[in-house]
């Protein structure tokens, strides 16, 4: 679990600091989807949206994690679910998921 006195924004900043030390990881300040997100090799893999960490995986991996109760499919707007994006609540351990997403996005598919 996490320290309840730490805000999601503070947790994301700490997570970003760790991941930005990895090769080829950058932060985006562009407008729209992905603003403030972390990118690896020019592809987004993690972002903070409404106190949730949103991470990119294969659709199959997202399904597995939802079945395990780790998170829910990300819906950026009115009921539109994104098949390859998982939203994690503020109570989960974000770093392992973010690292896995970074490896997934960086890998050749």
**The residue count for the chain:** 109
Give the chain's domains with CATH numbers.
8-106 (3.90.1150)
Closest CA to 33 of 22, 47, 19, 21: 47
**How would you class 98 by CB atoms within 10 Å of its CB: exposed for 0-12, middle for 13-18, buried for 19 or more?**
buried
Please tell me whether the overall predicted TM-score, pTM, comes out greater than 0.85 for this model: yes
Reported as a single tens digit per residue, the pLDDT across 94-106 is 999 999 999 999 9
Is 40 strand, coil or helix?
strand
Reported as a single tens digit per residue, the pLDDT across 66-85 is 999 999 999 887 778 899 99
Reported as a single tens digit per residue, the pLDDT across 21-66 is 999 999 987 766 667 899 999 899 999 998 999 999 999 999 999 9
User: Average pLDDT of 2-28?
Assistant: 90
Q: How many whole angstroms separate alpha carbon 49 and alpha carbon 89?
A: 10
Q: How many whole angstroms separate alpha carbon 81 and alpha carbon 83?
A: 6
């Amino acid at each position: 679990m996490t320290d309840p006195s730490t805000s999601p924004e503070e947790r994301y900043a700490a997570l970003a600091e760790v991941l930005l030390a990895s090769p080829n990881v950058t932060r985006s300040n562009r407008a729209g989807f992905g603003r403030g997100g972390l990118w690896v090799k020019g592809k987004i893999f993690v972002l903070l949206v409404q106190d949730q960490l949103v991470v990119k995986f294969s659709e199959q991996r997202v399904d597995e994690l939802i079945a395990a109760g780790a998170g829910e499919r990300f819906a950026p707007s009115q009921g539109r679910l994104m098949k390859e994006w998982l939203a994690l609540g503020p109570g989960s351990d974000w770093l392992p998921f973010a690292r896995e997403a970074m490896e997934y996005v960086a890998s050749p598919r």
